Protein backbone atom coordinates (compact mmCIF):
# COMPACT_ATOMS: atom_id res chain seq x y z
CA UNK A 1 0.00 0.00 0.00
CA UNK A 2 1.40 3.34 -1.04
CA UNK A 3 0.84 6.26 1.33
CA UNK A 4 0.64 9.46 -0.64
CA UNK A 5 1.54 11.54 2.42
CA UNK A 6 5.00 10.02 2.64
CA UNK A 7 5.69 11.05 -0.95
CA UNK A 8 4.92 14.69 -0.40
CA UNK A 9 7.67 17.24 0.04
CA UNK A 10 7.05 19.74 2.85
CA UNK A 11 9.12 22.46 1.21
CA UNK A 12 6.93 22.31 -1.88
CA UNK A 13 3.80 22.45 0.25
CA UNK A 14 4.93 25.73 1.80
CA UNK A 15 5.97 27.01 -1.62
CA UNK A 16 2.48 26.16 -2.83
CA UNK A 17 0.91 28.18 -0.03
CA UNK A 18 3.13 31.15 -0.90
CA UNK A 19 2.06 30.94 -4.53
CA UNK A 20 -1.61 30.66 -3.62
CA UNK A 21 -1.77 33.50 -1.13
CA UNK A 22 0.90 35.78 -2.59
CA UNK A 23 0.77 35.34 -6.37
CA UNK A 24 2.52 38.70 -6.82
CA UNK A 25 5.16 38.19 -4.17
CA UNK A 26 5.18 38.09 -0.38
CA UNK A 27 3.23 40.96 1.17
CA UNK A 28 2.51 41.88 4.77
CA UNK A 29 -0.82 40.45 6.02
CA UNK A 30 -1.12 43.41 8.39
CA UNK A 31 -0.47 46.40 6.12
CA UNK A 32 -0.14 44.83 2.63
CA UNK A 33 3.36 46.24 2.14
CA UNK A 34 5.72 44.45 -0.22
CA UNK A 35 8.74 45.77 1.67
CA UNK A 36 9.56 42.48 3.38
CA UNK A 37 12.71 40.86 4.69
CA UNK A 38 13.16 37.21 5.56
CA UNK A 39 13.70 36.36 9.20
CA UNK A 40 14.80 32.74 9.30
CA UNK A 41 12.67 29.66 9.63
CA UNK A 42 10.13 28.38 12.10
CA UNK A 43 11.63 26.51 15.07
CA UNK A 44 9.57 23.36 14.62
CA UNK A 45 8.74 23.53 10.90
CA UNK A 46 12.00 24.17 9.04
CA UNK A 47 10.28 24.88 5.70
CA UNK A 48 8.05 27.58 7.20
CA UNK A 49 9.58 30.94 6.30
CA UNK A 50 9.36 33.86 8.71
CA UNK A 51 9.27 37.50 7.61
CA UNK A 52 9.58 41.00 8.98
CA UNK A 53 7.60 43.83 7.43
CA UNK A 54 9.77 46.91 6.95
CA UNK A 55 6.73 49.18 6.81
CA UNK A 56 4.84 48.27 9.98
CA UNK A 57 7.68 46.26 11.61
CA UNK A 58 5.41 43.36 12.43
CA UNK A 59 6.42 39.75 12.01
CA UNK A 60 4.55 37.03 10.16
CA UNK A 61 5.23 33.76 8.41
CA UNK A 62 3.94 31.65 5.54
CA UNK A 63 0.88 30.55 7.46
CA UNK A 64 -0.06 33.75 9.31
CA UNK A 65 -3.75 34.48 8.81
CA UNK A 66 -4.34 31.30 6.86
CA UNK A 67 -6.67 28.48 7.81
CA UNK A 68 -3.58 26.27 8.26
CA UNK A 69 -2.10 28.24 11.15
CA UNK A 70 -2.28 26.46 14.45
CA UNK A 71 -4.11 23.50 12.96
CA UNK A 72 -3.20 20.05 14.16
CA UNK A 73 -3.04 18.61 10.65
CA UNK A 74 0.31 19.00 8.90
CA UNK A 75 0.32 21.30 5.91
CA UNK A 76 0.86 18.45 3.45
CA UNK A 77 -2.47 16.92 4.51
CA UNK A 78 -4.19 20.21 3.67
CA UNK A 79 -2.45 20.50 0.32
CA UNK A 80 -3.35 16.94 -0.57
CA UNK A 81 -6.91 17.63 0.49
CA UNK A 82 -6.95 20.61 -1.86
CA UNK A 83 -5.55 18.42 -4.62
CA UNK A 84 -8.17 15.73 -4.09
CA UNK A 85 -10.90 18.35 -4.12
CA UNK A 86 -9.63 19.36 -7.54
CA UNK A 87 -10.11 15.75 -8.61
CA UNK A 88 -13.70 15.89 -7.35
CA UNK A 89 -13.17 13.23 -4.72
CA UNK A 90 -15.92 12.98 -2.13
CA UNK A 91 -15.29 13.81 1.50
CA UNK A 92 -15.49 10.12 2.20
CA UNK A 93 -12.79 9.30 -0.36
CA UNK A 94 -10.58 12.13 0.88
CA UNK A 95 -10.95 10.91 4.45
CA UNK A 96 -9.86 7.45 3.38
CA UNK A 97 -6.87 8.64 1.37
CA UNK A 98 -5.60 10.87 4.16
CA UNK A 99 -6.45 8.67 7.14
CA UNK A 100 -8.85 11.26 8.50
CA UNK A 101 -12.20 10.73 10.10
CA UNK A 102 -15.07 11.94 7.96
CA UNK A 103 -15.88 14.93 10.16
CA UNK A 104 -12.32 16.24 9.89
CA UNK A 105 -12.31 15.79 6.13
CA UNK A 106 -15.65 17.55 5.83
CA UNK A 107 -14.48 20.47 7.95
CA UNK A 108 -11.27 20.81 5.96
CA UNK A 109 -12.95 20.82 2.57
CA UNK A 110 -15.49 23.36 3.81
CA UNK A 111 -12.72 25.67 5.03
CA UNK A 112 -10.69 25.22 1.86
CA UNK A 113 -13.67 26.17 -0.26
CA UNK A 114 -13.90 29.48 1.59
CA UNK A 115 -10.29 30.29 0.75
CA UNK A 116 -6.98 29.66 2.48
CA UNK A 117 -6.63 33.18 3.86
CA UNK A 118 -8.90 33.97 6.78
CA UNK A 119 -11.44 36.63 5.94
CA UNK A 120 -11.68 37.95 9.47
CA UNK A 121 -8.69 36.73 11.46
CA UNK A 122 -9.21 36.63 15.18
CA UNK A 123 -6.40 38.89 16.39
CA UNK A 124 -3.81 37.09 18.43
CA UNK A 125 -2.14 40.26 19.63
CA UNK A 126 -5.18 42.19 20.80
CA UNK A 127 -3.07 44.65 22.76
CA UNK A 128 -1.29 45.95 19.68
CA UNK A 129 -2.52 49.43 18.85
CA UNK A 130 0.39 50.52 16.70
CA UNK A 131 -1.39 49.73 13.46
CA UNK A 132 -3.68 52.73 13.99
CA UNK A 133 -0.73 55.08 14.15
CA UNK A 134 0.89 53.55 11.13
CA UNK A 135 -2.35 53.88 9.22
CA UNK A 136 -2.67 57.60 9.95
CA UNK A 137 0.92 58.24 8.95
CA UNK A 138 0.37 56.29 5.76
CA UNK A 139 -2.66 58.48 5.00
CA UNK A 140 -0.50 61.59 4.98
CA UNK A 141 2.42 60.02 3.21
CA UNK A 142 3.34 62.01 0.15
CA UNK A 143 0.68 64.63 0.97
CA UNK A 144 2.36 67.04 3.41
CA UNK A 145 0.06 69.79 2.13
CA UNK A 146 -2.95 68.00 3.56
CA UNK A 147 -1.39 68.02 7.01
CA UNK A 148 -0.50 71.71 6.82
CA UNK A 149 -3.92 72.72 5.57
CA UNK A 150 -5.64 70.80 8.31
CA UNK A 151 -4.08 73.04 10.94
CA UNK A 152 -4.15 76.16 8.84
CA UNK A 153 -7.77 76.29 7.72
CA UNK A 154 -9.10 79.65 8.83
CA UNK A 155 -12.30 80.48 10.64
CA UNK A 156 -14.52 77.69 11.90
CA UNK A 157 -17.73 77.65 9.90
CA UNK A 158 -16.52 80.34 7.53
CA UNK A 159 -17.45 78.29 4.54
CA UNK A 160 -19.70 75.29 4.06
CA UNK A 161 -17.41 74.09 1.32
CA UNK A 162 -14.45 73.76 3.64
CA UNK A 163 -16.47 71.89 6.20
CA UNK A 164 -17.63 69.39 3.66
CA UNK A 165 -14.13 68.79 2.41
CA UNK A 166 -12.54 68.45 5.80
CA UNK A 167 -13.79 65.15 7.22
CA UNK A 168 -11.70 62.16 6.34
CA UNK A 169 -12.98 58.57 6.54
CA UNK A 170 -9.66 57.59 8.02
CA UNK A 171 -11.01 56.67 11.45
CA UNK A 172 -13.37 54.00 10.29
CA UNK A 173 -13.46 51.47 13.14
CA UNK A 174 -13.82 48.44 10.89
CA UNK A 175 -11.11 49.39 8.49
CA UNK A 176 -9.61 46.46 6.68
CA UNK A 177 -6.19 48.09 6.46
ZN1 LIG B 1 3.30 45.46 7.46
What was the pLDDT predicted at 54?
Answer: 98
| Structural contact between residues 139 and 170, judged by C-beta atoms closer than 8 angstroms | yes
CB contact at 8 A, 61 and 55: no
Q: Is the pLDDT of residue 10 over 70?
A: yes
Question: Residue 34: is its pLDDT beyond 90?
Answer: yes
SS3 state of residue 59: strand
Helices (H), 52-120: 75-86, 91-97, 102-113
Q: Is the pLDDT of residue 22 over 60?
A: yes
Residue 21 Cα to ligand 1 midpoint, Å, equals 16
Calculate mean pLDDT across residues 9-34.
Answer: 96
Q: Is the pLDDT of residue 76 over 70?
A: yes
Percent of the chain with pLDDT over 90: 60
pLDDT on residue 136: 41
pLDDT value, residue 162: 40
pLDDT for 158 equals 41
pLDDT of 92: 97
Q: What is the pLDDT of residue 104?
A: 94
pLDDT by residue (tens digit) across 119-161?
A: 754 555 545 445 444 444 444 455 556 555 555 444 444 444 4
Ligand 1 centre and the CA of 140: distance in Å?
Answer: 17
Cα 123 from Cα 48, distance rounded (Å): 21
pLDDT, the chain, mean: 79
Q: What is the pLDDT of residue 141?
A: 52
Q: How far is the CA of 39 from the centre of ligand 1 (A)?
A: 14
CA of residue 60 to ligand 1 center, whole Å: 9
Q: What pLDDT, on a 0 to 100 scale, did the predictor assign at position 120?
A: 58
Compute, in angstroms, the gap from residue 36 CA to the centroid of ligand 1.
Answer: 8
Residues 80 and 73: their CA atoms lie apart, in Å, by 11
Give me ligand 1 centre to Cα 88, in Å. Answer: 37
pLDDT at 98 over 60: yes
Give the pLDDT band of residue 166 (cuts 50, 70, 90): very low
* CA 137 / ligand 1 centre spacing (Å): 13
Q: Does position 18 have pLDDT exceeding 60, yes or no? A: yes
Which pLDDT value is given to residue 70? Answer: 77
Amino acid sequence: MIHIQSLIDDAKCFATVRTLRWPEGVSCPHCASFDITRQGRDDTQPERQRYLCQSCERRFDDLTDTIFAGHHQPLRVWILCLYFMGLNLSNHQIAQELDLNKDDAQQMTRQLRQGIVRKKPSPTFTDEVECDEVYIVAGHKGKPDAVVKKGGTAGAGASRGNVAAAPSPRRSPRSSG
